[in-house]
Chain A
Amino acid sequence: MTRWLLFIPLAVTLAMGVLFWIGLGKEDKDALPSPLVGQPFPSFEAKALLSGEAISAASLPAKPMLVNVWATWCPTCKAEHAFLNQLAKQGITIVGINYKDDDAKAREWLKAYGDPYDFNISDPDGKLGLELGVYGAPETFLVDSQGTIRGKHIGDLNTRVWQKLQPQFEAMK
């Protein structure tokens, strides 16, 4: 047998080692990339949380925005809420999706912790959430002025995360 064949196992092992090394150093192992990035925001028929008006995809503002999926049952949402308030103060448009939640509780929450949202889409049975591929809260989508989804972040928004997202957000303008 030719000698180089004997080195194949070693080479394969080394390759696997490099792979694992990269794997260990990789951050955001948790994020599921969304196939919706680059797609238009899905059409929907729902009610606004506060006004109770019927709203649809056409109701989305024609400017870059964050679409934030949240619920009162989600502790992480509470953690990110203060930061959302801060973003809203900086003039960033945030549309909320109140996901699998109770409308009354949600209104209570907004009264108690402040309302950073332009408006909230009430999604009590998670129908819109399913269209958006949401699998938990909080999740935040970056949507441009044409209503196209440009990015998605899973987990809470905070200063550190925003540092990464902001350039992308600015670029949508």
Chain B
Amino acid sequence: MMQRLCWLALLWLPLTALAVVDGHKYPFDDAEKAERFRQLAEDLRCPKCQNQNLADSNAPVAVDLRDKVYELLQEDQSDEQIVDYLVARYGDFVRYNPPFRLDTLLLWIGPLLAMLFGIGLLVLIRRGQNAAPKPLTDAEKAQLEQLKKANRS
């Protein structure tokens, strides 16, 4: 199976195994909690899988974590508490939405920096074009004349 998964990944295909998760195992009395459960299961990563969230994975550890999330939700824990609980045991790897910290600073502001850098470059380019075009050298002038002549004929 592992080797088969490798092959699959060697293709240009999204690598995600199949699962239809038995969501009927997780009844909720209120819709708001059910929605939070769905969101958490989507934003938490199955630690053993290639690239799958808890909602879509049937790996045993994913089932355990899902059950745990359900249990913690029933205990009225907040989303942060639940995420912290799992991170304390499995590390930051389990959260698809990385925390905003010193080591993720560049990740979070990188695109913004790129945007600012790009805007700066645009300004620079436009300023550059305001300089008057250099006069043609004699050789270029001659070439231009020749071209004009060729064009006319």
Contact = CB atoms under 8 A, between A and B. Distances in A.
Interface of A: 1, 5, 32-36, 100, 126, 129-136
Interface of B: 47-48, 60-61, 64-65, 68, 87-91, 93, 121, 124-125, 128
Contacts of B87: 35
A35 B90 contact: yes
B60 A34 contact: no
A33 B34 CA distance: 32
Interface centre among A5, A33, A133 (most CB of B within 10 A): A133
B89 A35 contact: yes
A136 to B, nearest CB: 6
B89 to A, nearest CB: 4
Nearest to B63: A126
Contact of A36 (B48, B61, B64, B89): B89
Contact of B125 (A1, A33, A130): A1
Nearest to B47: A135
Given A126-B64, A130-B64, A130-B65, A1 B124 contact: yes
B91 A133 contact: yes
Contacts of B125: 1
B48 A35 contact: no
Contact of B88 (A5, A32, A35, A129): A35
B128 A1 contact: yes
A133 B48 CA distance: 11
Contacts of A133: 47, 89-91
Contacts of B88: 35-36
A32 B128 contact: no
B49 to A, nearest CB: 9
Contacts of A1: 124-125, 128
A48 to B, nearest CB: 22
Given A1-B124, A1-B125, A100-B60, A32 B93 contact: yes
A135 B88 CA distance: 14
Contacts of B91: 32-35, 133
Contacts of A32: 47, 90-91, 93
A18 to B, nearest CB: 17
Nearest to A42: B89
Contacts of B89: 35-36, 130-133
Given A33-B91, A135-B48, A130 B124 contact: no
A135 B124 contact: no
A87 B124 CA distance: 68
Contacts of A5: 121
A60 B90 CA distance: 23
